[in-house]
Structure 1
Amino acid sequence: MKHEKQGITVAGSLIADTFYKIDTYPEAGMLTKARDPVSYVGGTGNLIQDLAKMDPELPIRVSALVGADENGDMLCERLSQYPAVDVSGVVREGISAQTLVMNAQDTKQRTFFFVPASSDLYEEKYIDWEKADARIFHLEYLLLMAKVDEEDPEYGTHGARILHDARERGMETSIDIVSEQSDRAQRIVRCALKYTDYCTINEVEAEAVTGISLVKDGEIDSETAKQALEKLKELGVSKWAVIHSPKQNFGLDCESGEVVEVASLSLPEGYIKGTNGAGDAYCSGILYGGYQGYHLEKAMRLAAASAACSLSEMNGTDGMRPEKEIWELEEKYGKS
């Protein structure tokens, strides 16, 4: 099938992740030293880099608001290293969103401090629709961006308005959200689902959005997972609804009614070096599969193997590989 539009637009919260080493996490009122800061591209940047590594020729357009500061420089420069990534749709003003990550050397525990800044200010007025024109428009992360999550008198939320307007321009739409157990999930995300083609969320997020409890004895119950998928379709998802978890993944083709179950890869002991970014890697596989016209099962297998690639390195995107190598990993560790 030939498509006039090409590429994927990734829109939303582009964040600078800065890691510090600290000797120990201090008690309230006490001091500790933060050393050796190292900055990475985070937020939507994880998904952008995953897609760029998966297919270096895939046109990727970025829509975001980042600061006119050093972090903004870093974010734009790092993403511009990928030839097919277009950052001309990134607006520069104010202060960049940043996550400060404190790595305690004694306990090996990490503590996160999120500075929303530009992430909370991003809204449709910062989207240049001509530059954002693509086959798929992916908006992330709902529940993290204050302006996007604001109420809208016509569409329910501003994020829903953005997705509606992307569809009006002939694009398929996709969403990802942050894990949050609150009534906000149903109120905000359900508005967006009315204008969503691809919905890729984990089991915690699925419970929050649908109100259906999925986990039984520490694992996803397949029957309730199917109920949750049907609920996502009922709420408006029109093409694929996918729920992923560390062990098992469930998907619904909302057009054919087919339900797909795909196991996560069986990885050897010592393989997993970090879990940061695995959800973004999974989402990149679903998006890429949708873009390429893959069957839902193939897209979910690619997504599971992409997540496994991410798990092989501490940083969220260092482990990602070209599609051919992702399939080789799936053949090696996939469950028959």
Structure 2
Amino acid sequence: MRTGEEVRGSERKDKGGIVCAGNFIVDRVHTLSYWPEQGNLAYIQHQDVGVGGGAANVVTDLASLGFSGKLSAAGCIGTDTDGEIVKTRLRGAGIDVSGLRELPDHATAHTHVMNVPGQNRTFFYHGGANDAVSDALVSPEFFAGSGYRLFYLGYLMLLPGLDVIDADGRSGASRLLEAARNAGLTTCVDFVSSEDPEFAVKVGAALPYCDFLVINEIEAGRATGVFVRDPNGELIEAALLTAGERLLAAGVAKGAIIHAPEICFWFAPGTRPILSRSRPVDPAEIVSTVGAGDAFCAAVLYGLHENWPVERICAVAHAAAAHCLRGATATDGVPDMAALLEDVMKMQPACV
């Protein structure tokens, strides 16, 4: 039996649903006094335990946003304490976890996140059960038959069982996304900012089966071979335009959304890109940058499911990311959608 086949129907079928497949990771976030040199000591001032990874963050954020349709998780965990943490956290948010396959010979994936306030975080990661996820273990057909509409897959480049290219030039991700599409689901994909030299080749195999792509500027650059920032770290907007057009040319069917701390571009075939500026965030209010991109992505999926205009989706996604920055873990800063819409109304009333 493939993961997802045991998921039961719901009285909320008429409201649709989103299944989030991919990475499920126990994150232990350590807030440090400073980043030490090798051999030195830094104080851990605070610790938080969360459930992270692309699929876990996005599905949890959708629950926090108050998404009214069904939400399900699909992927692999171990039969260990961390696996129980994953299931307990997701169930507590009202998410169906019967699509999570438990593997007794793998540990649940986990990460130690080292966070110095005001600086980028650093990750120490063990892939565990995530490394075993394959297209044979997830059944998008069943989810489609249960009334779901969107199939999210994340993160590519952190799921080796789906990233590897076979002799036919296909990846497990490409086959899984093709199956989801053939079942009638809209496919949505996210990457992780890997430095793998085969990044472009591996993600490129999946792009022809991707309806919507939601990635950051670094990932867009690595997927297309475009340098998106200058030597001083300044964003090159013209380069993002080039990257977006290349992603569409590579097969992304309906929308390539590239977000950065400064900006978002929404590319769609046959139309001019839509630009949306990010709102400024006071650095003093930033507790952690963990999960901001996933909060952005979750708001995008919410809007896509509800068929909102692009401008409204982008405004809400920026707001979700800004709120996430105020939380210590990847998901605890995201409010419900009513609060985000009220927030957007104050900042950009034309978008609501």
TM-score, length-scaled by structure 2: 0.85
Query: For residue 148 of structure 1, what is the amino acid of its counterpart?
Result: L
> Does the Cα contact within 8 Å between 1:19 and 1:39 map onto a contact in 2?
yes
- In the alignment, which of 119, 122, 127 is matched to residue 138 of structure 2? 127
1:97 aligned onto 2:121: no
RMSD: 2.8
Residue equivalent to 1:137: 151
Query: For residue 183 of structure 1, what is the amino acid of its counterpart?
Result: P
CA distance in 2, matches of 1:310, 1:253: 27
Local SS of the residue matching 2:131:
helix
CA distance in 2, matches of 1:207, 1:237: 15
Aligned residues: 330
1:77 aligned onto 2:88: yes
Local SS of the residue matching 1:140:
strand
> Does the Cα contact within 8 Å between 1:249 and 1:264 map onto a contact in 2?
yes
Residue equivalent to 2:60: 49
CA distance in 1, matches of 2:170, 2:200: 12
Trace 1:172-183 onto structure 2 (pairs within 5 A): 172-183=186-197
Trace 1:1-336 onto structure 2 (pairs within 5 A): 6-20=16-30, 27=38, 38-43=48-53, 44-83=55-94, 85-93=95-103, 94-102=106-114, 111-133=122-144, 134-154=148-168, 156-216=170-230, 218-254=233-269, 256-268=270-282, 270-333=284-347
Percent of pairs identical after alignment? 30
Query: For residue 10 of structure 1, what is the amino acid of its counterpart?
Result: C
Residue equivalent to 2:7: none
Query: For residue 163 of structure 2, what is the amino acid of its counterpart?
Result: D
CA shift at 1:164, angstroms?
A: 0.7
> Does the Cα contact within 8 Å between 1:263 and 1:335 map onto a contact in 2?
no
Query: For residue 15 of structure 1, what is the amino acid of its counterpart?
Result: I
CA distance in 2, matches of 1:328, 1:72: 36
CA distance in 2, matches of 1:282, 1:299: 9
User: Which digits, 9 at most, give the CA deviation of each residue in 1:264-318, with x for residues without a partner?
Assistant: 0123452222211000011111111111111222211111111111112222211
Flag structure 2 segments of 5+ consecutive residues without an equivalent. Answer: 1-12
> Does the Cα contact within 8 Å between 1:8 and 1:138 map onto a contact in 2?
yes
CA distance in 2, matches of 1:246, 1:203: 9
User: Which digits, 9 at most, give the CA deviation of each residue in 1:139-161, with x for residues without a partner?
Assistant: 10111111111123445211111
CA distance in 2, matches of 1:109, 1:263: 21
Local SS of the residue matching 1:262:
strand
CA shift at 1:26, angstroms?
A: 7.6
> Does the Cα contact within 8 Å between 1:26 and 1:32 map onto a contact in 2?
no
User: Which digits, 9 at most, give the CA deviation of each residue in 1:216-255, with x for residues without a partner?
Assistant: 453333322222111110000111111111011111122x
> Does the Cα contact within 8 Å between 1:264 and 1:334 map onto a contact in 2?
no
Call closer, same or farther: CA 1:331–1:102 in 2, change over 3 Å. same
CA shift at 1:124, angstroms?
A: 1.8
> Does the Cα contact within 8 Å between 1:89 and 1:131 map onto a contact in 2?
no
CA distance in 1, matches of 2:188, 2:288: 26
> Does the Cα contact within 8 Å between 1:66 and 1:72 map onto a contact in 2?
yes
Call closer, same or farther: CA 1:259–1:129 in 2, change over 3 Å. closer
CA shift at 1:25, angstroms?
A: 5.1
CA shift at 1:326, angstroms?
A: 0.8
Call closer, same or farther: CA 1:100–1:221 in 2, change over 3 Å. closer
> Does the Cα contact within 8 Å between 1:265 and 1:335 map onto a contact in 2?
no
